[in-house]
Copies of this chain bind each other. A is one copy, B any other.
């Protein structure tokens, strides 16, 4: 039936706004790059430019974490890296299982971004018996039958679903029943989960459709405005972000 979810403030006293949480990884990435270049401090203006956001927004975001900056100077890079990492929970180990080792699952398993930040691929799981034992990204694929045992034995709380749409809900149910409370879903399906379980979805098809919409709109405008349209070529750091509203997710290569 309806979403019986008890409506709650969502932004609690000590709670950090969801929009801010979604940007923290972005800041962390920029800060890590600065750290590797041994840059000691950075101003909100500089960091904001690197992350592709407004500096005022960045300062407000950081203000939710506490006052870690020094007026007249900026933020200490190393300290900020630590604070954000801690806030995001990246200072601890997060074993992750990937279910569905097809093209996408294999790509995810090979993704270097996993180990880099506390995430560890604890196991690769596939329903195809023929896959069992075959190593992917150096990790032997295990059969779905082992799912519950794997989750339990490794204390896995985060699961990645990369199966066909038809199998996603079933896999999801088993993951949740086994103790997983956070799911990253790559299957083009709406997953139904109990309260307390977080689901984020990454859907290539949806992304493309959104782009097509804007593309069509641009074409229409251009036609309507005659030839005198779209001249703009001023290279800018406008980084047309459309990710802020906690919208879409992603994937990515090393």
Chain A positions near chain B (C-beta within 8 angstroms): 1-6, 8-16, 18-19, 21-22, 24-26, 28-30, 50-52, 54, 66, 83, 86-90, 92, 94, 96, 100, 102-108, 110-111, 113-114, 116-119, 157-158, 162-165, 181-184, 186-188, 190-218, 230, 232-254
Contact = CB atoms under 8 A, between A and B. Distances in A.
Given A3-B237, A22-B206, A157 B190 contact: no
Given A207-B184, A207-B200, A230-B196, A212 B90 contact: yes
A25 B210 contact: yes
B215 A245 contact: no
Q: Which 10 A-B pairs have the closest CB atoms?
A: A202-B250, A89-B216, A14-B249, A203-B250, A103-B107, A52-B190, A113-B205, A198-B242, A195-B232, A204-B251
A236 B4 contact: yes
A88 to B, nearest CB: 5
A103 B19 CA distance: 31
B21 A213 contact: yes
Given A1-B236, A186-B253, A207-B250, 9 more contacts: A88-B216, A94-B208, A108-B204, A111-B204, A164-B253, A184-B208, A186-B251, A194-B232, A195-B232
Contacts of A89: 212-213, 215-217
Contact of A246 (B192, B218, B243): B243
Nearest to A66: B254
Contacts of A29: 188, 205
